[in-house]
């Protein structure tokens, strides 16, 4: 019985042991540490981006995609009709009506 009462008293005293607690004081150089941490995080953002880009999972598809786009563009241009200098001359002449008729080309109306 006495033991039970004693335990009860101990429990109560322990439960109240935080009464009158004072605030714990943080590190006086906390601000400097936070600033250094912020700078570190800013740097690590770039390194994180570089690490992400250099990962084979990202780098290999990116390279393959670039090659594919280049190849597609190359074949696209190749398939287009390439204009020769003669074509350009003909186009110029027809635009300015410079084509000279030969006598054989002209048709003579019968009188």
Partner 1 sequence: MDEQFLIEKLRQGDEAAFREIVETWKNMVYNTAVGILQNAEDAEDVTQEVFVQVFESIKTFKAESKLSTWLYRITVSKALDHLRRKKRKKRFAYIQSLFGAGGETIIEKPDFNHPGIALDNKERSAILFKAIDRLPENQKIAFTLHKVEGLSYQEISDVMKTSVSSVESLMHRAKNNLKKLLQDHYQNKE
| Cα–Cα distance measured from residue 23 to residue 73, given in angstroms and rounded to the nearest whole number | 69
Binding site for partner 1 (CB under 8 A): 3, 7-8, 10-11, 13-15, 17-18, 20-27, 30-31, 33-34, 37-38, 41
Residue 29 or 77 with smaller CB distance to partner 1 = 29
- At its nearest, how many Å lie between partner 1 and the CB of residue 49? 17
Residue 1 or 15 with smaller CB distance to partner 1 = 15
- At its nearest, how many Å lie between partner 1 and the CB of residue 14? 5
- At its nearest, how many Å lie between partner 1 and the CB of residue 46? 16
DSSP per position, 4-71: HHHHHHHHHHHHTTTTTPPPPP--TTHHHHHHHHHHHHHHHHHHHHHHHHHSHHHHHHHHHHHHHHHH
| Cα–Cα distance measured from residue 107 to residue 111, given in angstroms and rounded to the nearest whole number | 12
- At its nearest, how many Å lie between partner 1 and the CB of residue 67? 39
Residue 26 or 54 with smaller CB distance to partner 1 = 26
N residues, the chain: 111
| Cα–Cα distance measured from residue 30 to residue 38, given in angstroms and rounded to the nearest whole number | 12
Residue 39 or 89 with smaller CB distance to partner 1 = 39
């Amino acid at each position: 019985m006495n033991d039970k009462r004693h335990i009860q008293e101990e429990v109560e005293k322990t439960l109240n042991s935080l009464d009158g607690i004072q605030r714990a004081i943080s590190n006086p150089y906390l601000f400097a540490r936070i600033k250094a941490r912020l700078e570190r995080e800013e740097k690590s953002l770039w390194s994180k981006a570089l690490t992400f880009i250099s990962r084979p999972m990202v780098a290999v598809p990116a390279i393959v995609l670039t090659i594919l786009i280049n190849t597609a563009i190359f074949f696209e241009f190749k398939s287009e009709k390439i204009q020769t200098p003669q074509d350009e001359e003909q186009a110029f002449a027809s635009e300015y009506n410079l084509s000279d008729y030969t006598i054989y080309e002209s048709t003579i109306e019968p009188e």
